[in-house]
Amino acid sequence: METRARSLVKAVLWNVIGLAVMTLVGLAMTGSAAIGGAMAAINTAIGLSTYFLYERVWSQVEWGRANG
């Protein structure tokens, strides 16, 4: 089972990557760094929250784990 700290670190690192990618996509689509950054920040806040919860739920699921 994962600790909450590990789940949080994984979620934060994943969302830092997503923030950078979404900023570039927003910039490419709108031509505005401010709009691209705002889109990325909103996406990251939602994604971080849902990913953390998703990981915590899966940490409780025993299916598919090998013992030993």
Tens-of-pLDDT digits for all 68 residues of the chain?
A: 778 888 888 878 888 888 899 889 989 999 998 998 898 889 888 888 898 898 889 888 888 877 75
Rounded to an integer, what distance in angstroms lies between the CA atom of residue 29 and that of residue 22?
10
pTM above 0.75, yes or no: no
| Residue of 43, 41, 44, 39 whose CA lies nearest to 15 | 44
Rounded to an integer, what distance in angstroms lies between the CA atom of residue 40 and that of residue 24?
9
How wide is the angle at C-alpha 19 spanned by C-alphas 16 and 20, nearest 5°? 90
Q: State whether residue 63 is helix, strand or coil.
A: coil
Domain ranges of the chain: 4-59
Q: What is the tens place of the pLDDT at every residue in 46-62?
A: 888 898 898 889 888 88
pLDDT of residue 10: 85
